[in-house]
Amino acid sequence: DTGVSQNPRHKITKRGQNVTFRCDPISEHNRLYWYRQTLGQGPEFLTYFQNEAQLEKSRLLSDRFSAERPKGSFSTLEIQRTEQGDSAMYLCASSNSGRPEQFFGPGTRLTVL
Amino acid sequence: SQQGEEDPQALSIQEGENATMNCSYKTSINNLQWYRQNSGRGLVHLILIRSNEREKHSGRLRVTLDTSKKSSSLLITASRAADTASYFCATDSYSGGSNYKLTFGKGTLLTVNP
């Protein structure tokens, strides 16, 4: 059984650079979520896909953030022109239709210098 | 924004003791879930309780829910060193299209000393 995977696990970048993260959900899950977690806080919702459709975005997701889920399988989260405030753990989760339990990946830790 | 607050923020106990963590939330919910996070890693789902349930058990875990007080508690019995982790409560409420987006509290850091 393969769980949710995320790549890369760690990313260090300089301010102003673009970064892209990938999430591979559990294969039979049609829902995919992105969350952001900063030190000492719980995860905060960023965006949600059902199959390939992006159905909800948080106000936290500024214009510099974009997420895609082509073909309803893996998803990418891109941050353009990174800022130091973007430094955080980015978590991906997936779930089945009608099931509230979410299964999380290990996260991608982003450090913006 | 954070929906809930866990209490206490940190808890240190000896192996074999019970650990109780509390969670309060602000708005009406459909479900409340508890997750565990080991240092710097992803979250692991522990247990879910629906808004029409009052108590639920799973192994060494016992969860209670009081919707009138908008609060929940997680009890871990006979704790082990491997239970050392951060514990988060998360609530969900329908948001169009049955989106179960989760709203988390800040978590309780549990340390179980051998």
CA distance A112 to B80: 37
Q: What's the pLDDT score for residue B12?
A: 96
Q: Are strands A5-7 and A53-57 parallel, antiparallel or unpaired?
A: unpaired
Q: Is A42 on the interface with B (CB under 8 A)?
A: yes
Question: Residue A90: which of A65, A55, A73 has the closest Cα?
Answer: A65
Q: Is A47 on the interface with B (CB under 8 A)?
A: no
Q: Is A36 on the interface with B (CB under 8 A)?
A: no
pLDDT of B109 strictly over 60: yes
Query: A105, B88: Cβ pair inside 8 Å?
Result: no
Q: What's the pLDDT score for residue B110?
A: 97
Question: Cβ of A27: how many Cβ atoms within 10 Å?
Answer: 9
Q: What's the pLDDT score for residue B2?
A: 52
Q: What's the pLDDT score for residue B94?
A: 63
B69 against B2, higher pLDDT = B69
Mean pLDDT of A4-32: 96
pLDDT in tens, A33-59: 999 999 989 999 999 999 999 988 998
Q: What's the pLDDT score for residue B13?
A: 96
Q: B46: nearest CA in chain A? A: A101
**Which residues from chain B sit within 8 angstroms of residue A35, using beta carbons?**
102
Query: B42, A42: Cβ pair inside 8 Å?
Result: no
pLDDT in tens, B6-26: 889 999 999 999 999 999 998
Q: What's the pLDDT score for residue B99?
A: 66
Q: What pairs with residue B65 in β-bridges?
A: B72
Instruction: Return the DSSP state at A24.
Output: E
Interface with A, mutate which of B101, B104, B106 (most A CBs under 10 A): B101
Report CA-CA distances (Å) from B67 to A17, A38, B51: 46, 29, 7
CA distance A16 to A62: 15
Q: What's the pLDDT score for residue B93?
A: 73
CB pairs under 8 A between A and B: 70
CA distance A6 to B46: 21
Q: B101: nearest CA in chain A? A: A45
- Could you tell me where the beta strands, DSSP code E, fall in chain B? 5-7, 10-14, 19-24, 31-37, 43-50, 55-58, 61-66, 71-76, 85-92, 102-104, 108-113
Q: Is A103 on the interface with B (CB under 8 A)?
A: yes
Query: B41, A98: Cβ pair inside 8 Å?
Result: no
Query: A42, B101: Cβ pair inside 8 Å?
Result: no
pLDDT in tens, B34-46: 999 998 788 999 9
Q: What's the pLDDT score for residue B46?
A: 96
Q: What's the pLDDT score for residue A1?
A: 52
